[in-house]
């Protein structure tokens, strides 16, 4: 079945450092890909999405490009802030049978940004 | 526009007791999802509704879990009886229609079973 693998954390960076969180997927079809963010004590919020190969999703300085050839959707930000401290989840929309459209999540990567 | 509303936010119960969670989706959203998120893990789907019909309940442990979505709006997820392993955050999400991928999540209910 479809699955998502993302780099394990926690990741600790200094403010203004460059961020990369790796995400790879396995899917039988052509899923949409997502990054969700969960701030402490809050629910999941959609950060960005891409629906087809070579699409780039972007929001709040974060970017991710849908790479079909490497089945990847890595999250990047050029300069992180303390307020970016959160847990980041990579997800795909399932492509098979009755589960089509359901989200399948990675385990999450906790990011801590130090001032 | 109001987001997805869930209650209660926190619940602590003894094992073998029943518990229920309530979700009010974003107005106009036809599709509603219940997820369970164990500590340190990503959310996992329990059940998906399209209007009042449960179209995917393959991951719902039906011996103790039940859900309903009367009139295709609010939904309730119930566990009876609860077990220690049910301690988790239960998340509700909604999306406008079945063909729309983006799901909007509520804040979740954190359940602790003692």
Q: Which of A28, A6, A9 is nearest to A90 (CA)?
A: A6
Indicate whether B110 pLDDT > 70. yes
Angle, vertex CA B64, rays to CA B4 and CA B89, nearest 5: 35
Indicate whether A9 pLDDT > 90. no
Residue B98: per-residue pLDDT: 62
Residue B2: per-residue pLDDT: 82
Q: Rounded to an integer, what distance in angstroms lies between the CA atom of residue A54 and that of residue B94?
A: 27
Q: Quick: pLDDT tens for B47-100.
A: 999 999 999 998 999 999 999 998 889 999 999 999 999 999 999 999 987 655
Q: Quick: pLDDT tens for B16-58.
A: 999 999 999 999 999 999 999 999 899 999 999 999 999 999 8
Chain B positions touching A51 (Cβ under 8 A) are 101
- Name the one residue in this structure whose structure tokens are 């890909």: A33
CA closest to B93 among chain A residues? A44
Element (H, E) at A112: strand A109-114
Per DSSP, B25 falls in state P
A108 interfaces chain B, CB cutoff of 8 Å: yes
Q: What is the mean pLDDT of chain B?
A: 93
């Amino acid at each position: 079945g479809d699955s998502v693998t993302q780099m394990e954390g926690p990741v600790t960076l200094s403010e203004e450092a460059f961020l990369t969180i790796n995400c790879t997927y396995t899917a039988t079809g052509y899923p949409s890909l997502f990054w969700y963010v969960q701030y402490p004590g809050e629910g999941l919020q959609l950060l960005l999405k891409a629906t087809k190969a070579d699409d780039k999703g972007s929001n709040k300085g974060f970017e991710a490009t849908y790479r079909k050839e490497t089945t990847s959707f890595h999250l990047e930000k050029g300069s992180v802030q303390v307020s970016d401290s959160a847990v980041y989840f990579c997800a795909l929309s399932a492509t098979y049978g009755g589960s089509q459209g359901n989200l399948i999540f990675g385990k999450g990567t906790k990011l801590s940004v130090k001032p | 526009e109001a987001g997805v509303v869930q209650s209660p936010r926190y619940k602590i119960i003894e094992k073998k007791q029943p518990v229920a969670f309530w979700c009010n989706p974003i107005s106009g959203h036809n599709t509603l999802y219940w997820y369970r998120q164990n500590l340190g893990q990503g959310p996992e789907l329990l059940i998906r509704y399209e209007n009042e019909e449960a179209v995917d309940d393959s991951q719902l442990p039906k011996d103790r879990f039940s859900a309903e979505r009367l009139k295709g709006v609010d939904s309730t997820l119930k566990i009876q009886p609860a077990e220690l392993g049910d301690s988790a955050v239960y998340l509700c999400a909604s999306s406008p229609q079945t063909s729309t991928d983006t799901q909007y999540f509520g804040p979740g209910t954190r359940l602790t079973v003692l």
